[in-house]
């Protein structure tokens, strides 16, 4: 095997007895953002976003991966634009479909699915090296991260056939390249209807069931959240290799999802595609897995080893629930965040993400946690 280097509504709900002591406090953020960067109908390319894929914060700089523009934009904490990294293209340091960005020591790693590679940059923007995403057996990878002792966390991509018959599922594994050993640690059922194109890695926004997410902090902490069951697990790397350090079941209750629900989703999607003049999905497409409503949308590890998790309820207007988990004490708290806020980073008590405007344009937003908690 080739070696692979790789979120104001207060939501009230019943908390299971086993978690009541852990979820008695509610975190909140200041209602006024600390900083916003972006324009709904702006003419400034540097301050106009279409697809904010990732955010990382290092010292005095905020790095924002703008996927549609195929570039990383750098801002100061007062919102001043400082510069760019990368551009559209297939050459060294260029992007065609950048989907994720993470910090590896003092380097920025960017995954490009179309070019099937991962590019590493210095904080100053210089290209350091480029590595292929590689494969896991006969499956292409959609991302990976190397941890201590050569252990690799790898996420498989979903290959879509021209008939749209691929299983909407991806795997998260731990790979030990030196011993050729591979352990599956999560199986994500996407709950999406795939595009019907021969070589697409994308999905339609037709959601049914719970996805999942994973994040690596440095080279020694891995957190994984999945939806069936809705559970958070985390590992630490040490002298004996990667070991499971804790697990916690989230206080969420998915709803059943039926074949009729699946067809209703497909019909709703087709209404929009008909208005756009694009190809319709066949009603024969089945959303067979998972068979319940509810979706884990986001997982973020803060610089204080806390884990933020977003749960989405498609059948409710109050569809966003946030939790903060202390990975040392295993304490879980609810969080009250503005509706529509998508968190991508948490550093120094600030939450970095974006909010969509009425024109579905993302505006980068920074929120501040309050020191006071409410019961």
Say if 11 falls within a structural domain: no
Residue 280's domain comprises 17-368
Tokens of 15: 């908390």
CATH number, domain containing residue 362: 2.120.10.30
Q: Which residues pair with 29 in a beta bridge?
A: 369
For the stretch 58-86, pLDDT in tens is 999 999 999 999 999 999 999 999 999 99
Instruction: Give the contacts of 194 (CB within 8 A, at least 6 positions apart).
Output: 158, 160, 164, 166, 168, 200, 202, 203, 204
Residue 7 belongs to some domain of the structure? no
In a domain, 60, yes or no: yes
Choice between 359 and 35, residue whose per-residue pLDDT is larger: 35
Residue owning tokens 């790693």: 109
pLDDT in tens, 78-130: 999 999 999 999 999 999 999 999 998 889 999 998 899 999 999 999 999 99
pLDDT > 90 in the chain, percent: 39
Domains in the chain: how many in total?
A: 1
Local confidence band at 180 (pLDDT 50, 70, 90 cut-offs)? confident
Q: Is residue 3 part of a domain?
A: no
Query: Which contiguous run of DSSP H or E holds residue 73?
Result: strand 71-76
Q: What is the mean pLDDT of the chain?
A: 79
Burial class, 212, CB count within 10 angstroms (exposed 0-12 / middle 13-18 / buried 19+): buried
Question: Is the bond preceding residue 229 a cis peptide, omega within 30 degrees?
Answer: yes
Backbone dihedral angles phi then psi of residue 215, each to the nearest 5 degrees? -150, 145
User: Where are the alpha helices (H) located in 206-317, listed in sequence order?
Assistant: 259-276
| 18 vs 254 pLDDT, higher one | 254
Starting at the earlier edge strand, list the strands of the sheet with 221-227. 212-217, 221-227, 230-238, 241-249
10 inside domain? no
- Tens-digit pLDDT profile for residues 272-309: 878 888 777 666 555 554 556 677 888 999 998 899 99
Per-residue pLDDT reduced to its tens digit, 19-45: 333 445 678 888 889 999 987 555 688
Residue with the larger pLDDT of the pair 200 and 14: 200
Residue 1 lies in a domain: no
368 contacts 349 by C-beta, under 8 angstroms: yes
Asked whether the predicted pLDDT for residue 206 surpasses 70, the reply is: no
Does residue 348 form part of some domain? Answer: yes
Residue 6 within a domain: no
């Amino acid at each position: 095997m080739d070696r692979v280097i790789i979120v104001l509504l207060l939501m009230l709900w019943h908390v299971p007895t086993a978690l009541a002591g852990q979820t008695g406090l509610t975190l909140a953020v200041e209602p006024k953002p600390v900083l916003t960067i972006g324009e709904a109908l702006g003419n400034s390319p540097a301050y106009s976003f279409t697809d904010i894929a990732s955010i990382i914060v290092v010292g005095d700089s905020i790095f924002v991966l703008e996927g549609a523009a195929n570039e990383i934009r750098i801002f100061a904490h007062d919102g001043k634009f400082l510069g760019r990294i990368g551009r559209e293209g297939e050459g060294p340091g260029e992007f065609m479909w950048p989907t994720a960005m993470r910090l590896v020591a003092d380097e920025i790693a960017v995954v490009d699915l179309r070019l099937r590679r991962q590019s590493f940059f210095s904080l100053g923007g210089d290209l350091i090296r480029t590595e292929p995403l590689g494969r896991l057996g006969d499956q292409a990878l959609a991302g990976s991260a190397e941890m201590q002792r050569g252990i690799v966390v790898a996420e498989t991509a979903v290959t879509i056939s021209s008939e749209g018959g691929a299983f909407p599922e991806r795997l998260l594994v731990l790979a030990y390249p030196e011993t050729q050993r591979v352990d599956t640690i999560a199986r994500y059922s996407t709950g999406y209807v795939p595009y019907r194109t021969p070589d697409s890695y994308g999905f339609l926004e037709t959601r049914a069931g719970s996805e999942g997410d994973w994040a690596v902090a440095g080279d020694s902490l891995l957190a994984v959240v999945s939806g069936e069951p809705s559970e958070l697990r985390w590992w630490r790397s040490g002298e004996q290799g990667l070991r499971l350090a804790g697990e916690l079941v989230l206080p969420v209750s998915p709803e059943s999802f039926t074949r009729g629900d699946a067809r209703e989703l497909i019909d709703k999607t087709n209404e929009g595609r008909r208005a756009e003049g694009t190809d319709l999905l066949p009603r024969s497409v089945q959303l067979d897995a998972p068979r319940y409503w509810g979706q884990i949308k986001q997982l973020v590890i803060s610089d204080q080893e806390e884990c933020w998790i977003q749960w989405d309820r498609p059948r409710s207007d109050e569809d966003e629930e946030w939790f903060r988990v202390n990975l040392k004490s295993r304490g879980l708290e609810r969080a009250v965040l503005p509706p529509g806020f998508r968190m991508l980073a948490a550093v120094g008590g600030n939450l970095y993400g974006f909010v969509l405007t009425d024109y579905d344009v993302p505006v980068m937003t920074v929120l501040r946690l309050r020191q006071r908690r409410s019961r």
